[in-house]
DNA sequence: CTGACTTTGTGCACGCGTTCACAAGCGGTA
DNA sequence: TACCGCTTGTGAACGCGTGCACAAAGTCAG
């Protein structure tokens, strides 16, 4: 169990569980370890980064509608957050607003794109061209946003060579070569759960440092690889929890319950 | 703009931004408003709920492999969290472990399922049977986990009546009737962005109280409706941010940078 | 029955993220 | 130029979630 770590995704923060190896160097309470250099704007909370992406989308929509400036209040409402949080989020990337006026839409778009690293294109590889893989490959929303899908992989010989969304499927065994050739920086795993870890290892071996995982599996990756997961079953179960909570609440306020079980 | 609220999803907590109407009742600092009754086990953090769903999946896998008991350490490792967090999470739902031994897998599964409301089936309706809708409808993982997909809707007349994943597509105009008949409790939105809000409103009108949204749009819903969103573009952009951060770090430690721009 | 060992459950402290509240700053107006 | 109103940017407080560390509680060997 050399390098194992929880995925960064989902709700709530996920601070590094502990030093991966060399448990405790000295029993001194950890002070500021970073040498204060290279400490730039690195302190953006992950939650804020995710919201910046949302702001960016809203701003793009506003720009298409011809808006020149926005106030934090407007933008916040459109993005579904309160204005204080929005301003704090924007303050992480700098001061690009004009007091008494608001923000220039174009400027804000540019700065957020810069922070998110969207000035560079990020080639995406999809592994596992089944139900979900097909949907992803056919989806037009990624290339348009700077994430061209430039490689597809599957193990099924019937699929290899077949074009999906205009791009022919490569065999999984060629993953290293193809990823290198096409400078893939993000790998998307859409294989069945049992294959996910193997595919992940291959992606890492191929030099891919960012992975988006759709398989309901906890992936083990080295520290330098970033994993985010999308787990639809978890999403549904969280919703289910809220249904149950609601039902309980209703029962409790009506006094209609026996030993914790709702009586209909 | 009567009832508008941010989506509950993604990273970080999202406490109710403010009383929806009737801004301040009294200028007294809010004390414990809940009458202390119906205060049961309601205090489970959303982040913990999401993790419970993960534990449940891991436990199911363990049970299939014939495991009878697990320690918090084992389960935590398998789920990608540290054991303290896991025990804390489990403590929210009660004390079902045996000190010195661990947890009975079967008991834990049962209790988590009870808390998540999985003892009841939750019928799911998918709206928008395009690329993504097809994948969702064909996916076998939901029915097996207590989430039968029991209704499909689209506006395209060519699709209506066509069976997808063994279930014929209904017209969106029949949504209220069909949802009522089949007791749909969760709606999944997989339409193009412009249609999402309308579809959402129709789902709410049809009595659906939980919505999973794939369209990159901030939905406006009444307070009693729970929305979670899955935004793949945001996921990719967060990954992109980490790529950029990494590149910056590398450049900074090498001293290879000019005015904030990396020189290759 | 006793004692040693194992693992749970949790009180507490810390840190991060959210929210509040207001000074600072800018444009418009007289 | 001086004033006024509006909006940004942020210091500080608050609250929540995480992680630590240990007492409580159980098992098992002898
Ligand atoms: N389809 C959905 O809507 C949906 C929803 C939630 C989660 N998921 C998850 O997404 C993943 C994919 O789902 P799906 O419905 O597309 O499954 P699928 O069975 O339709 O497709 C899986 C594809 O992966 C390929 N594959 C298998 N092993 C491989 C390997 N080692 N290397 C490369 N390719 C390999 C298969 O040939 C197949 O084409 C699963 O883990 C599933 O649990 C899917
Ligand atoms: N396909 C993907 O991989 C992917 C990835 C990320 C996000 N998304 C998002 O998911 C959504 C669906 O994507 P897609 O690729 O499946 O799109 P799609 O165009 O393939 O399918 C959309 C479907 O919705 C139907 N529709 C349109 N208006 C409707 C209405 N008012 N009521 C009911 N149905 C209606 C259309 O007839 C079509 O069948 C989009 O919002 C997209 O941004 C998709």
Cα distances (angstroms) measured from residue B159 to each of B81, B138, B167, B169 = 44, 15, 12, 6
- Class in CATH terms, B8-116: mainly alpha
**Parallel, antiparallel or unpaired: strands A261-262 and A69-70:** unpaired
Higher pLDDT among residues B17 and B5, named by residue: B5
Q: What is the mean pLDDT of residues A219-226?
A: 93
Q: How far apart are CA A154 and CA A149, in angstroms?
A: 15
In chain A, residues with a C-beta closer than 8 Å to the C-beta of B187 are none
Prediction pTM value:
0.87
**Is pLDDT larger for residue A57 or for residue B4?**
A57
- What is chain B's percent helix, strand, coil content, to nearest 5? 40, 15, 45
Strand C lies under 7 A from the Cβ of residue B79: no
**A1 contacts B73 by C-beta, under 8 angstroms:** no
CATH 3.40.50.720 correct for A123-233: yes
Give alpha helix (H) positions in chain A: 46-64, 72-79, 83-91, 105-116, 131-138, 175-181, 193-205, 232-254
Mark out the alpha helices in B101-231 (DSSP H runs).
105-116, 131-138, 175-181, 193-205
Determine the pLDDT at residue A253: 64
Torsion of CA B253, B254, B260, B263, to 10 degrees: -150
State the smallest CA–CA distance between residue A15 and chain B in angstroms. Answer: 10
Closest CA to A178 of A198, A208, A158: A208
Q: Which nucleotides of C are covered by protein (CB under 7 A)?
A: 5-11, 15-21, 24-27
- The Cα–Cα gap between B216 and B209 comes to 20
Instruction: Indicate if the pLDDT at residue B258 is higher than 50.
Output: no
Nearest to A240 by CA among B92, B226, B202, B68: B226
Q: Does pLDDT of B262 surpass 50?
A: no
Q: From CA A151, how far away is CA A83, in angstroms rounded? A: 40
Q: Please report the number of interchain residue pairs, chain A to chain B, with beta-carbon separation below 8 angstroms.
A: 252
> How many Cα atoms occupy the beta-carbon half-sphere of B261 within 13 Å?
5
Question: Shortest CA distance to A150 belongs to which of A113, A119, A115, A186?
Answer: A186
Q: Has residue B222 got a pLDDT over 80?
A: yes
Nearest-CA residue to the C1' of C5? B100
For residue B21, what are the contacts with CB-CB under 8 A and spacing of at least 6?
B2
Dihedral sign from CA coordinates of A69, A70, A72, A78: negative
| Beta carbons of A232 and B213 less than 8 angstroms apart | no
Strand, helix or coil at B198?
helix
Averaged pLDDT of chain B:
83
Joined together, the tokens standing for residue B179 give 């949802």
Tell me which chain B residue has its CA closest to the CA of residue A140: B131
Which residue of B192, B207, B235 is the best one to mutate when testing the A interface, meaning the one whose CB has the most A CBs within 10 A? B235
pLDDT score at B254: 63
Of A131, A262, A94, A168, residue with least CA distance to B133:
A131
Per-residue flag: A91 CB under 7 A of strand C: no
Say how many Å lie between the CA of residue A55 and the centre of ligand 2: 22
Span A59-114, pLDDT tens digits:
999 999 999 999 999 999 999 999 999 999 999 999 999 999 999 999 999 999 99
Paired tokens of A56: 């960016």
Examine the pLDDT at B132 and tell me if it is beyond 70. Answer: yes
- What does pLDDT average to over chain A? 83
B93 pLDDT more than 60: yes
**Rounded average pLDDT over B8-23:** 36
**Domain regions of chain B by residue span:** 8-116, 123-233
Q: How many Å lie between the alpha carbon of B70 and the closest alpha carbon of chain A?
A: 17
Closest by CA to A76, choosing from A67, A64, A88, is A88
Residue pLDDT, tens place only, A144-180: 889 999 999 999 999 999 999 999 999 999 999 999 9
Mean pLDDT of A45-57: 96
Yes or no, beta carbons of B216 and A141 under 8 Å apart: yes
Would the CB atoms of A122 and B243 count as touching at under 8 Å? yes
**Nearest-angstrom CA–CA distance, A158 and A183:** 26
User: What are A115-130's pLDDT values in tens digits?
Assistant: 999 999 999 999 999 9
Identify the weakest region by mean pLDDT among A14-23, A180-189, A196-205.
A14-23
Closest CA to A192 of A234, A237, A238, A155: A155
- pLDDT in the model for residue B64: 94
Residue linked to tokens 């089949």 = B182
Q: How confident is the model at residue B40 (pLDDT cuts 50, 70, 90)?
A: very low
B14: confidence class by pLDDT, cuts 50, 70, 90: very low
The per-type count for chain A, helices as H runs and strands as E runs, is 8, 12
**Strand D, nucleotides covered by protein (CB < 7 Å):** 5-11, 16-21, 24-27
């Amino acid at each position: 169990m050399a390098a194992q770590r929880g995925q960064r995704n989902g709700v709530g923060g996920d601070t590094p569980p502990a030093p991966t190896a060399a448990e405790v160097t000295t029993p001194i309470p950890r002070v500021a370890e970073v040498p204060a250099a290279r400490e730039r704007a690195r302190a953006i909370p992950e939650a804020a980064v995710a919201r910046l992406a949302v702001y960016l989308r809203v701003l793009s929509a506003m720009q298409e509608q011809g808006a020149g400036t926005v106030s934090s209040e407007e933008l916040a409402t459109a993005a579904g957050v309160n204005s204080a949080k929005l301003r704090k989020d924007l303050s992480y990337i700098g001061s690009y607003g004009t007091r008494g006026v608001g923000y220039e839409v174009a400027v804000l778009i540019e700065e957020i794109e810069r922070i998110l690293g969207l000035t560079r294109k990020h080639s995406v590889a999809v592994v596992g061209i089944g139900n979900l893989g097909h949907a992803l490959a056919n989806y037009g929303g990624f290339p348009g946003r700077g994430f061209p899908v430039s490689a597809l992989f599957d193990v099924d010989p019937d699929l290899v060579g077949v074009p999906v969304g205009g791009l022919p499927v490569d065999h999984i065994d060629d993953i290293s070569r193809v990823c290198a050739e096409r400078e893939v920086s993000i790998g998307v795993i859409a294989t069945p759960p049992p294959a996910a870890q193997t595919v992940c290892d291959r992606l890492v071996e191929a030099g891919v440092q960012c992975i988006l995982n759709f398989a309901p599996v906890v992936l083990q990756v080295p520290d330098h690889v970033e994993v985010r997961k999308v787990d639809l079953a978890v999403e549904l179960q969280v919703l289910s929890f809220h249904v149950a909570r609601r039902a309980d609440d209703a029962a409790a306020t009506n006094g209609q319950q026996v030993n914790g079980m709702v009586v209909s």
